[in-house]
Structure 1
Amino acid sequence: MTAHSHCYFFHILPKVAACSFSESMKTEKDVEEVNKDKQKTDVCPDAQHPTLTNKQRGNEVTVRPATLDDSTLLSQQDERGFTPLMWAAAFGEIAVVNFLLDQGADPRTVALEWESALTLASSGGFVHIVKSLLKHGVDINTYDWNGGTPLLYAVRGNHSECVKALLENGADMTIESDTGYTPMALAVALGHKRVQKELENHILQLYKPKE
């Protein structure tokens, strides 16, 4: 029997049973009582919609669906302290990130180990998300418990475009990792030439004489 057949079977079963039962009654009084019971228990066409059924009964709906109008939902943190925005940033979902930001999600929230949405996006090399978050006033130098800033994570991942975006927005090149590496030292140690070039260009711009 197919899934559709199951649904049809269970939909007509109460009606078939009620009809068979009423036919077995011999007296007019019994038939009348069965009809009354049938009116009370008959399944309405919209029985699969509990909310509508409650309204028809005149009851208040006790549980309403969650909506993004609720700011607590946007900022809700899981067991790791991650918010929906953090997860979207970690997986490179730019459309979701922008939607959550437009709805009022706080990009400055940090997780239990001080990871931020910017840290996660920088680590993953998602430059469009990095730029989007930077427009919302995030802390560009957040230092997490693993000993890294967004810039250090971008350097380690060899994400040159993220490195450039972070530097252009004021990321601190002097902050060291927990192992004592600056962004430049880390780029050299890992052999990340493109990242090293971005760092060198930024340093040259800082010391370039103003006209």
Structure 2
Amino acid sequence: MAELAGLEDPKTRRVNEKHGDDHGVNLSKLRALAKRLKTQQELAHRLWKTQDTAARLLATLICRPKAFARDELDAMVREARTPKVHDWLVNYVVKKNPHAEELRLAWLADPDPLVASAGWELTTDRVTKKPAGLDLAGLLDVIEAEMKDAPHRLQWAMNHCLAQIGIEHAEHRDRALAIGERLGVLRDYPTSPGCTSPFAPVWITEMVRRRNGEPVA
């Protein structure tokens, strides 16, 4: 904890706080620390229990993802209220755990929007990597009905799923594009030069263009 405190930088904290994260540790330095520590499951548990954001980020890097019980991960996701901790926990830990599918199904229906967003993130991963057995049309039905009025982080996760369905599954692409256009979610999101807009119709169209090897317009 003392070493993490020593890595704290006020400028980094100011930037992170604009995105809802309450830490000032440079993530490259955090990863270097994790590389030095290597895998330490007991230390990861102790770091998580501190409730400190930088410590929890470090915990996701040095833990053994498959070692967590289902209920442990459920509790951890409910405790992960800052965006970066939530993101790293889902992507670096939950996705690699044998209970990921069971948790995905449970979280999708959870009344807590942050927990539900974790369910949608896991669903997006399946849309991309293991779509067999998913009801893609049914997912589009839910997105069409609920995404417009969803809280921000849940809306973002649902929008990502919408985009990936359109990108990965040509048979659903026209509907995904139509839903994105009609709902207009993230249409005006500020996008840096050279980056792709998160507005689903633009995102889908650009990624499909790249896959097809089409030249830049």
Please report the TM-score for the alignment, with normalisation by the length of structure 1: 0.35
Higher alpha-carbon Rg:
1
Please report the TM-score for the alignment, with normalisation by the length of structure 2: 0.34
Higher helix share: 2
